[in-house]
Structure 1
Amino acid sequence: MSCLMYACLDDLHELVTIDQQVIGSPTRQDLIEKAIVEERCIICKTQSGIGGFLIFTTDFFECSFIALVIVKPTERRKGIATSLLGHFVELASTTKIFSSTNQSNTDMQKVFETAGFIKSGFIENLDDGDPEIIYYKLK
């Protein structure tokens, strides 16, 4: 059983730890803290703690944009990312919701497709040789 909710500052250390496990560095602590303070960070709590989190904005061409979806490595393949996406779609303040992932990230592409997102385009030159695929969903 899991519970989806907005993160609070008490969750910051655990979120930074999860993020560090995934990307190998704590460099996004300020970004995560700002998202928590601005109520733009949703967490998925499981019996073993926070299983994953999602950070969003609403300033992407006046649409919602899911900027980050991170799942704790030991909690992957349990539906956490799909649950976070679905929960965000329900509460999004805009009818158009966008997100993106690298072309090399086939696991996240499958998550987006499972959650009903469709490919909407590409952005070149963010990461050398690994285009960003833009995904879209209408609420």
Structure 2
Amino acid sequence: MRRTAKRCLNIATVGAISAAAILVMGPQAHAAAKITEFCTQPFAPEGMGCFYSDGDRVRVADITRDGLRAVAEIRVGGTNEYRECHDSNGADNGYTWCNFNVTENRAMSIQIVARNGANGPNKMQGVIVFGNTSGR
């Protein structure tokens, strides 16, 4: 009986010390990838889009029923990297997602344009938003 009481006391002491350590130091945080997004103006007539540094993903949405497609143009500074993400399936039906592999730790820009066809002329151009490919 004595051993059981002593063992319970030891377990209670360890539990109390552990609880105190958590209160003082806080629970152990898990490292998580920082996801940074750089977005164009919402509800602009040419469309809207975002670049996500985690995974180098881009989303673009056509929000105007004008027969044009919304295209996100991505440029990476200090390189010849240029990418496009097209939302060509009509307006007001959500985002189109594209996954790119771009050079990390570089300045970049995203601009949404309204284009007549895949290779046609740009009819409208949105503001250029600058960011960093590594989420700075």
* TM-score normalised by structure 1 residue count: 0.26
From the CA coordinates, give the structure whose radius of gyration is larger: 2
Richer in helix (by share): 1
* TM-score normalised by structure 2 residue count: 0.26
Structure of higher RCO (CA pairs closer than 8 Å, 6+ residues apart): 2
